[in-house]
């Protein structure tokens, strides 16, 4: 074994002859460092990170027990096995030493073969312990990696499902990007935490996934819809809820709520359940506002964008009717951020 790879043993004793004896005994197989008192033992333990400490109990100032207690208190040194080397034979002392976290006792006068055997055994145990700890760290890292891979996959599938819905419609990818980013801003503004706001950002693009189930002649009809056709269009919210289904994932749970409730109106005149006020889930109320705002404030192949002033007037006009009035206020209060998103995901018109 190379010099560097030899285990390091710290021997602590206030009597020079005892130190010399142990150093002589161990230096054939180990790197041995020494300390003459508890204080310097703590320092060396911290800087050298020995694999094992042989610790005298009877020392002036800080005795072995106190030294051991302090070693076990610090995270950096608490895993280093401590063997007490003592002239005492009273069982109460041994109990105290083990209670402090020592792994073994060697009594003086020492027996060289016994010291060697104990040291070897405890070094092997320490090595096994370190290996297990290392493997645990690797395992935890693997689990973390797999979990984030799964989350990534889930997110990718959710996004693709959202894209599939857009393909059926005249809408571009920019609409869902803008409306879901607006939704995230509004979520934070009304007190949802960072994590929930990100969940909303990722769930909102599925709001119209149910349009997959609407027949082309109705979904893509350029002119005004008949009452019957409008009734069919309205079913996109229940179809969407059905597609997303009743899943355990928080992301899909939220996507379900949004798909199902984004056409409810604050005054109870929406669909499919004519829910009113706070009976409409908050994420549904947020999506309703940001979906409509984006629809009117951006250009579509069949219509021009409303000027910003007019779009904002509409929100205020519909505050307490279509939209949650608190959300309208928060939306206006956060207008600079909203406009940043609008600019960032601007449609490129050729
Ligand atoms: Fe919709
Ligand atoms: Fe939409």
pLDDT tens digits, one per residue of 252-305: 999 999 999 999 999 999 999 999 999 999 999 999 999 999 999 988 777 788
Q: Ligand 1 centre from 261 Cα, in Å?
A: 9
pLDDT tens digits, one per residue of 126-150: 999 999 999 999 999 999 999 999 8
b/e burial code for range 165-183 (CB count within 10 A of at least 16 → b) = bbebbebbebbbbbbbbbb
Q: What pLDDT, on the 0 to 100 scale, is given for residue 109? A: 87
Report d(CA 298, CA 305) in Å as an integer: 4
Q: Count the Cβ atoms, other than its own, within 10 Å of residue 246.
A: 9
User: Order of strands, edge to edge, in the sheet holding 82-86?
Assistant: 31-35, 8-12, 52-56, 82-86, 104-107
Q: Ligand 1 centre from 335 Cα, in Å?
A: 23
Q: Ligand 1 centre from 239 Cα, in Å?
A: 11
**Residue 156: is its pLDDT beyond 70?**
yes
List the domain range (segments joined by +) for residue 225: 169-344
Contacts of range 72-80, beta carbons closer than 8 Å, 24 or more positions apart: 72/100, 72/101, 74/46, 76/46, 76/49, 77/42, 77/45, 77/46, 77/49, 79/126, 79/129, 79/130, 80/45, 80/49, 80/50, 80/51, 80/52, 80/53, 80/126
Q: Are residues 203 and 107 in the same domain?
A: no
Q: What pLDDT, on the 0 to 100 scale, is given for residue 171? A: 65
Closest CA to 289 of 173, 194, 178: 178
For residue 239, what pLDDT band results from cuts at 50, 70 and 90?
very high
219 alpha carbon, closest ligand = 1
The token pair at 69 is 């207690």
Q: Residue 208 phi/psi, 5° resolution? A: -110, 25
31-35 vs 8-12, strand pairing mode: parallel
**% of the chain with per-residue pLDDT over 90:** 77
CATH number at residue 74: 3.40.50.2300
For residue 92, what pLDDT band results from cuts at 50, 70 and 90?
low
Residues 6+ apart with CB under 8 A from 2: none
Q: What pLDDT, on the 0 to 100 scale, is given for residue 163? A: 81
The token pair at 29 is 């197989």
Say if 326 falls within a structural domain: yes
Report d(CA 70, CA 44) in Å as an integer: 13
Q: Are residues 31 and 87 in the same domain?
A: yes
Q: Are residues 249 and 100 in the same domain?
A: no
Q: Ligand 2 centre from 247 Cα, in Å?
A: 22
**Residue 1: is its pLDDT beyond 50?**
no
Q: What is the CA radius of gyration of the chain?
A: 35
In whole numbers, what is the pLDDT of the chain averaged over residues?
92
pLDDT tens digits, one per residue of 27-43: 999 999 999 999 999 99
For residue 90, what pLDDT band results from cuts at 50, 70 and 90?
low
CATH number at residue 294: 1.10.3210.10
Q: Are residues 127 and 173 in the same domain?
A: no
3-state secondary structure of 10: strand
Residue 312 and residue 294 in contact, taking contact as beta carbons nearer than 8 Å: no
> What integer is the mean pLDDT of 110-124?
94
Say if 273 falls within a structural domain: yes
For residue 5, what pLDDT band results from cuts at 50, 70 and 90?
confident
Cα dist. 283→180, 198, 278, 321, 335 in Å?
A: 11, 12, 11, 17, 19
**Structure pTM?**
0.68
Residue 331 and residue 289 in contact, taking contact as beta carbons nearer than 8 Å: yes
Closest CA to 161 of 174, 176, 149, 148: 176
Residues near ion ligand 2 (Cβ under 5 Å): 208, 291
Provide the number of structural domains found in the chain: 2
Q: What pLDDT, on the 0 to 100 scale, is given for residue 2? A: 44
Say if 335 falls within a structural domain: yes
> What integer is the mean pLDDT of 169-177?
77
Say if 74 falls within a structural domain: yes
Say if 157 falls within a structural domain: no
52-56 vs 8-12, strand pairing mode: parallel
Q: Ligand 2 centre from 71 Cα, in Å?
A: 62
291 alpha carbon, closest ligand = 2
171 alpha carbon, closest ligand = 2
166 alpha carbon, closest ligand = 2
> What integer is the mean pLDDT of 5-11?
93
Q: What pLDDT, on the 0 to 100 scale, is given for residue 350? A: 45
Residue 85 and residue 50 in contact, taking contact as beta carbons nearer than 8 Å: no
> What integer is the mean pLDDT of 187-204?
96
Q: What pLDDT, on the 0 to 100 scale, is given for residue 347? A: 74
Q: Ligand 1 centre from 237 Cα, in Å?
A: 7
Q: What pLDDT, on the 0 to 100 scale, is given for residue 151? A: 87
Residues near ion ligand 1 (Cβ under 5 Å): 208
> What integer is the mean pLDDT of 229-253?
95
Q: What pLDDT, on the 0 to 100 scale, is given for residue 154? A: 87
């Amino acid at each position: 074994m190379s010099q560097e790879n030899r285990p390091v043993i710290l021997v602590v004793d206030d009597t020079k002859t005892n130190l010399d004896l142990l150093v002589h005994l161990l230096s054939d197989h180990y790197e041995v460092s020494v300390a003459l008192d508890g204080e310097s033992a703590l320092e060396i333990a911290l800087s050298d990170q020995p694999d094992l400490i042989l610790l005298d109990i009877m020392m002036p100032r800080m005795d072995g027990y106190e030294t051991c207690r302090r070693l076990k208190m610090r995270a950096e040194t608490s895993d280093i096995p401590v063997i007490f080397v003592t002239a005492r034979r009273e069982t109460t002392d041994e109990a105290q030493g083990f209670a402090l976290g020592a792994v073994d006792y060697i009594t003086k006068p020492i027996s060289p073969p016994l010291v060697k055997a104990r040291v070897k055994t405890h070094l092997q145990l320490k090595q096994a312990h370190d290996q297990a700890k290392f493997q645990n760290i690797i395992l935890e890292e693997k689990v973390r990696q797999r979990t984030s891979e799964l989350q990534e996959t889930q997110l990718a599938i959710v996004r693709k499902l959202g894209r599939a819905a857009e393909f059926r419609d005249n809408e571009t990818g920019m609409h869902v990007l803008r409306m879901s980013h607006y939704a995230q801003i509004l979520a934070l503004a009304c007190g949802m935490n960072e994590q929930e706001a990100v969940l909303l950002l990722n769930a909102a693009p599925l709001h119209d996934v149910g349009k997959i189930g609407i027949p082309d002649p109705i979904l893509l009809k350029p002119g005004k819809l008949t009452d019957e056709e409008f009734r069919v269009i309205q079913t996109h919210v229940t179809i969407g809820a059905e597609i997303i289904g009743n899943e355990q994932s928080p992301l899909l749970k939220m996507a379900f709520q949004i798909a199902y409730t984004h056409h409810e109106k604050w005054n109870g005149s929406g669909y499919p359940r004519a829910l009113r006020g706070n009976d409409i889930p908050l994420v549904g109320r947020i999506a309703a506002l940001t979906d409509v705002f984006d629809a009117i404030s951006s250009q579509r192949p069949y219509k021009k964008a409303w000027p910003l002033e007019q779009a904002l007037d509409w929100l205020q006009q519909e505050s307490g009717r279509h939209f949650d009035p608190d959300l309208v206020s928060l939306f206006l209060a956060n207008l600079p951020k909203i406009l940043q998103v609008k600019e960032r995901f601007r449609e490129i018109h050729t």
